[in-house]
Amino acid sequence: MAEHESLEFGKADFVLLDNVSMEEFMANLKLRFEKGRIYTYIGEVVVSVNPYRAMNIYGRDVIEQYKGRELYERPPHLFAIADAAYKAMKRRNKDTCIVISGESGAGKTEASKYIMQYIAAITNPNQRAEVERVKNMLLKSNCVLEAFGNAKTNRNDNSSRFGKYMDINFDFKGDPIGGHINNYLLEKSRVIFQQEGERSFHSFYQLLRGAPDSLLRSLHIQKDPKAYNFIKVGGQLKSCINDGADFKAVADAMKVIGFTGDEIQTVYKILATILHLGNLTFGVDGDVTLIENTKLVSVIRELLSTKEENVEKALLYRTVATGRDVIEKQHTTQEANYGRDALAKAMYERLFCWIVSRINDIIEVRNYDAKIHGKNTVIGVLDIYGFEIFQNNSFEQFCINYCNEKLQQLFIQLVLKQEQDEYQREGIPWKHIDYFNNQIIVDLVEQQHKGIFAVLDEACMNVGKVTDEVFLQGLNTKLAKHAHYTSRKLSPTDKSLEFDRDFRIRHYAGDVVYSVVGFIDKNKDTLFQDFKRLLYNSSNSVLKAMWPEGKLRITEVTKRPLTAATLFKNSMISLVENLASKEPYYVRCIKPNDVKSPLLFEHERCRHQVEYLGLLENVRVRRAGFANRQTYPRFLQRYKMISEFTWPNHDLPSDKDAVKRLLQGCGFDHDVAYGKTKVFIRTPRTLFSLEEQRAEMVQRIVLFLQKVWRGTIARMRYRRMRAALTILQAYRRYKVKSYIREVNRRFKNVRSMKDHGRHVKWPTPPKVLRRFEEALKSIHSRWWAWTLIKGLSPEETLQVRAKVAGLEALKGQRADLGLQRAWEGNYLKRDSPDTAASFTLVSSDLQRKDKFMRVLFSCNVRKINRFHKSENRAVLITDRHLYKMDPLKQYKPMKSIPLYNETVLSWIPSGRADQLMSGVIQVTGLSVSPGKDQLVVFHTKDSRDLVVCLQDMVPANESRIGELVGTLLSHFKSEKRKLQVNIASPIQCSMNGRKCTVIVEPKINQSQPDFTKSRSGYILAVPGN
Ligand SMILES: Nc1ncnc2c1ncn2[C@@H]1O[C@H](COP(=O)(O)OP(=O)(O)O)[C@@H](O)[C@H]1O
Ligand SMILES: [Mg+2]
């Protein structure tokens, strides 16, 4: 019930006619045709009238208007039906098919192309490359199939001479992922013969008119079709076909589809071979049959890549196996002609089937796994040869018309019969609408034993000479009483029928007179084995592959092949079964006139088509009937969310009650009927409205589900995190524990170890315990040190303290601190044994006088005096004083410097009383150099620093600076006093109040360190090497 179209264009749906009568139907059809409205609905069936002119209604903008729309939202169009089929497939996961019917030239092929274009245009919004590839292949394949399968007939310049059913496979997202083409009975007799005004298949003319000269030369053919017997009838016909341009388009398409260069060349060679075959003539010489134009044989040999004598032999002889013997039987010229024609037809048919199978290889669905990708659904498009009546109707027309009977039967079954039966079954009040059921004609053709095909097959099975007339006699006896069959014998007065030649069938679409001439041959469809072997043995692998049965040896008994009629019948039955298993959509094409005029609406011609297509009955059934029916559970499943009574589950006694409740709630009660198992919805509008409400609710449900699901996910994630954390903690505890356990194990016997665990390797701690490990290590170190020092004597303790102090002060800043040896401190006695007695004397004297407790250090030194002269002296450092002594005068003390301020002064050397009294004399610091020399500067508070270099040591060159520094520091520390220690070079000091520097310089030939004066102070020259 299309809208959005003004009434001036007539009624967009025949259901809206005021009266369903032929007059009104025709008036509406005519009005719409004249107004350029070529499409009209009968419910969901599209009636299409061939406009015979280019219509501007297939562009991108129009596609957009129909995309995703419901049927009745837009003016009638093929696109709407294509969209409906697509939606049904996508929404309900249903396989659908679009059946396009109508007589030859009514516009079926064009319609199928527009439908394909539409589907291609609305799918694959994401531009997936693979899907684009598939779509391109599907569209391109058309062009190739039309070149080889279509021809100009008297009814249609581009008449399909084969049936085509194309399945398009879609993935769960609704994108095309592949396809498959079934082809039906190619009218191959056209290869060798065409009626007046007709042409052979386009491919021949395309080759002659479009191929470059070089190609033509290599194929040994010339441009003029008149030169070839097989195609000369249609060679000079005028039409708007542009063969030259089509040749290029087809060649390109073949390339795009994926035909190899070799394959394309072979295609051309086969076409050329067929043309040459047509020009072969046979003659007789005595009783020998021969080829008159033998030159052609070598051309054919070259094109077929076989041996020349084999070509000739295959054309002139037939190998026959009689029991074990194999003999070669020569053909008569008649047989040779028959063989040649059969070869030409068979080669072309094979070529065509091979092209289809190559296309199928390429577009076939790949890598689809229903488990992963969901069900793959199919839209089938059927474009089959239309019903036709020619001047001379032969076996092919008979098959074609039978095919149309079958399709009409399917239409009747699905649209008229099933629907009415269903209303009855479901108990819906219904007044039966009568229609003509063509099952009787279908039976006439295909019934076992009695049908025309059966009679034909029977005739073919007879041994001996079987003629077409015998077949006709068979028909006459078997079908004499059949209402739809007649012949001259049965109705002798009918002059339109020829005796022994014609029979007439009253088809649903009209009477057709068939001539039985050729029926037997065409049905047997014999091709001598010799040809099959010839082609199989070609060195052209593409050609060879088309003839696999050529490999059978002549003696191998093969089953009698099925006849052409049986093959065709079987293929039709399976086609109809296939269509019936899908949800069908119909396009009914009507041809407005026989002269391809865009203006002419031949009333009678159209009326006839409307009548035999059963369109009026269609309208009646549709009008009284219902647009949609669904079982109650299914209906509920789909729409239960739009009513509170049914969502999420109803508590009514039955689904039927629930559906009633739901529909009453929506206010649709008047537009529906309740059957026993199904609910019937009259107008599509109601269904659409239900769909709309559902879509709205689905959004909410989706939101709700999302909400719940998100919550669930979050909770799941939270629980996982918690678990991970627990595991983490346990693991960490475990790591810590095992670390501690390991430390315990390794250090268990640390007390009894010789080195108290110094050698023990620490285990690697977990990251968190790095600092803990440091602490542990330091605890161990301390404990270890403590165990070392706790057994020391007081003397040893002092020494260790001194060494520690020395190490702290000098570590890294001076080499050789002498830590390894014992620090004796009081070295003078050892170094100068000869004078030791005097030193001991002076020392005890001083101890008495100055009351010192112990000697910290003593040593011989070289010293700079006030007059910049160096002299030998000795120093003695006690816990209270630093004494400078003169070794040459029995160690007479020459100077005494308190280590720090004393309150009580017991001994004052002469001439220094003033300074001492003021308390300014005291040692404030030490300076040593970073080198190995034994230089030391004692800084005093009165700026009269004492600059000395230790010397005369035993053993010689013993390094004592470390000991001196360490001992003094340690002592000062124990007295809680500060002593400044500098390590520097040069050393800054004050002599007699003047600042100066002391530099250490190695000198060659210097046997002992000694001081000399320099400009800024002094140089201590040390032995250099
Ligand atoms: N929708 C259309 N728009 C324009 N011309 C059309 C249309 N349908 C058919 N024709 C014309 O009619 C001719 C025959 O149509 P075609 O589809 O080949 O018929 P069929 O397949 O039914 O035998 C086409 O070649 C074209 O010229
Ligand atoms: Mg066609």
Write out pLDDT tens, residues 442-470: 999 999 988 999 999 999 888 777 899 99
DSSP for 337-362? HHHHHHHHHHHHHHHHHHHHHHHHHH
Ligand 1 contacts CB of residue 115 (under 6 A): no
Ligand 1, atom nearest to 104 Cα: 23
Question: Is 109 within any annotated ligand binding site?
Answer: yes
Question: For residue 46, which phi and psi values (nearest 5 degrees)?
Answer: -100, 125
Q: pLDDT digits over 527-541, tens only?
A: 888 999 999 999 999
Of the ranges 350-354, 610-614, 806-810, which one carries the lowest mean pLDDT score?
A: 610-614
CB-ligand 1 contact for 101 (6 Å cutoff): no
How high is the pLDDT of residue 4? 54
Q: Ligand 1 pocket, 55 CB below 6 A?
A: yes
How many angstroms separate the alpha carbon of residue 147 from the centre of ligand 2?
Answer: 12
Q: Which ligand is nearest to the CA of 386?
A: 1
Q: Which residues contact 1004 (CB under 8 A, 6 or more apart)?
A: 1024, 1025
Asked whether the bond before 955 is cis by omega within 30 degrees of 0, the reply is yes
The pLDDT value recorded for residue 914 is: 47
Residue whose Cα lies nearest atom 25 of ligand 1: it is 158
Ligand 1 within 6 A of CB of 160: yes
pLDDT at residue number 917: 47
Q: Which residues of 105-114 are buried (b: 16+ CB within 10 A; e: fewer)?
A: bbbbbbbbbb
Check if 589 has its Cβ closer than 6 Å to any atom of ligand 1: yes
pTM of the entire predicted model = 0.67
The runs of H, that is alpha helices, within 851-949 are 913-918
CA 49 – CA 40 distance, rounded (Å): 9
Section 466-491 average pLDDT: 92
Q: Does 106 appear as a known binding residue?
A: yes
- In the chain, the percentage of residues whose pLDDT exceeds 70 is 97
- Say if residue 577 carries a ligand binding annotation: no
Question: pLDDT band at residue 70, thresholds of 50, 70 and 90?
Answer: confident
> Residues 181-214: pLDDT tens digits?
999 989 999 999 998 899 999 999 999 999 999 9
Residue 933 has phi, psi (to 5 degrees) of -65, 170
Give the pLDDT confidence score for residue 361 in this predicted structure: 92
Å from CA of 238 to ligand 1 middle: 18
The CA distances from residue 982 to 607, 882, 939, in Å, are 128, 19, 10
In this structure, are residues 159 and 151 in contact, taking their beta carbons and an 8 Å threshold?
A: yes
Q: Is 598 in the pocket of ligand 1 (CB under 6 A)?
A: no
Q: Which residues surround ligand 2, an ion (CB under 5 A)?
A: 108-109, 160
Range name among 370-384, 865-879, 905-919, 1002-1016 with the lowest pLDDT average = 905-919
**Minimum-distance ligand 1 atom for the alpha carbon of 38:** 1
Give pLDDT, residue 557: 58
**More reliable by pLDDT, 916 or 847:** 847
- The ligand 1 atom at the shortest distance from the C-alpha of residue 58 is 1
Residue 103, annotated as binding a ligand? yes
Q: Which helix (H) or strand (E) holds 28?
A: helix 22-34
The angle at the Cα of 375, spanning 370 to 380, to the nearest 5 degrees, equals 120
Could you identify the atom of ligand 1 that is nearest to the CA of residue 156?
Answer: 14
Higher pLDDT, 387 or 381: 381
Q: What is the mean pLDDT of the chain?
A: 90
The CA-CA-CA angle for residues 608, 614, 620, to 5°, reads 125
- Does ligand 1 come within 6 angstroms of the Cβ of 159? yes
644 is in an annotated binding site: no
Look at residue 1023 and tell me whether its pLDDT is greater than 50.
yes
> Candidates 50, 78, 81, 145: which one to mutate for ligand 1, based on the most atoms within 8 Å of Cβ?
50
Among 99, 101, 158, 202, which residue has the most ligand 1 atoms within 8 Å of its CB, making it the best to mutate?
158
Ligand nearest to the CA of 79: 1
For ligand 1, is residue 241 a contact (CB within 6 Å)?
no
**What distances in angstroms separate CA 877 from CA 713, 821, 827, 965, one per listed residue?**
84, 20, 11, 12
Ligand at shortest distance from the CA of 150 = 2
pLDDT at 239 over 90: no
Query: What is the CA angle 15-17-18, rounded to 5?
Result: 130
Q: What is the tens place of the pLDDT at every residue in 623-681?
A: 888 877 888 998 998 899 988 888 888 888 999 999 999 999 989 988 899 999 999 98
Residues 6+ apart with CB under 8 A from 981: 809, 810, 925, 926, 927, 928, 965, 969
Q: What is the DSSP letter of 930?
A: S
CA distance 647 to 981: 95
Which residue is closest in CA terms to ligand 1's atom 26?
A: 52
pLDDT digits (tens, 9 = 90+) for 698-742: 899 899 999 999 999 999 999 999 999 999 999 999 999 999 999
CB of residue 922 inside a 6 A radius of ligand 1: no
DSSP string, 632-668: HHHHHHHHGGG-TTTSS---SSSHHHHHHHHHHHHT-
Rounded to the nearest 5 degrees, what angle is found at the Cα of 1017, between the Cα atoms of 1011 and 1019?
Answer: 30
Summarised one tens digit per residue, pLDDT across range 891-930 is 999 988 998 875 444 445 554 544 444 455 788 899 999 9
For residue 620, how far is its CA from the centre of ligand 1 (angstroms)? Answer: 29
pLDDT for 296 equals 94
Residues labelled catalytic: 104-105, 109, 156, 159-160, 386, 388
380: Cβ contacts below 8 Å, ≥ 6 apart: 95, 96, 97, 98, 165, 166, 167, 168, 578, 579, 582
CA 96 to ligand 1 centroid distance, Å = 24
Task: Give distance in angstroms: CA of 158 to centre of ligand 1.
Answer: 8
**pLDDT for 375 beyond 80:** no
- Alpha-carbon dihedral of residues 425, 427, 433, 439, nearest 10 degrees? 0
Instruction: Identify the pLDDT of residue 135.
Output: 87
- Ligand lying closest to the C-alpha of residue 149: 2
- Mean pLDDT (whole number) for 382-399: 88
Structure tokens at 932: 């190995």
260 Cβ neighbours under 8 A, 6+ residues apart: none
| DSSP per residue, 732-748 | HHHHHHHHHHHHHHHHT
Mean pLDDT along residues 1011-1019: 90
Residues 492-512 pLDDT 10s: 999 999 999 999 999 988 899
Q: Is 108 annotated as a binding residue?
A: yes
Q: For atom 14 of ligand 1, which residue has the closest CA? A: 105
The Å distance, Cα 616 to ligand 1 centre, comes to 24
Range list of H helices, 525-670 = 529-536, 541-546, 564-580, 603-612, 615-624, 632-639, 655-666
136-181 pLDDT, tens digit per residue, is: 888 899 999 999 999 999 889 999 999 999 999 998 888 898 999 9
Report whether 961 contacts 950 (CB < 8 A).
yes
CB contact at 8 A, 580 and 410 = yes
Is the Cβ atom of 278 under 6 angstroms away from ligand 1?
no
Alpha carbon distances (Å) from 647 to 403, 654, 659, 661, 680: 49, 14, 12, 12, 21
- Residue 107 annotated as part of some ligand binding site: yes
Query: What is the C-alpha separation between 509 and 609, in angstroms, rounded?
Result: 7
Ligand nearest to C-alpha 595: 1
Q: What is the rounded radius of gyration, in angstroms, for the C-alpha atoms of the chain?
A: 59
Is the distance from the beta carbon of residue 862 to the nearest atom of ligand 1 less than 6 Å? Answer: no
Report phi then psi at 939, rounded to 5: -85, 135
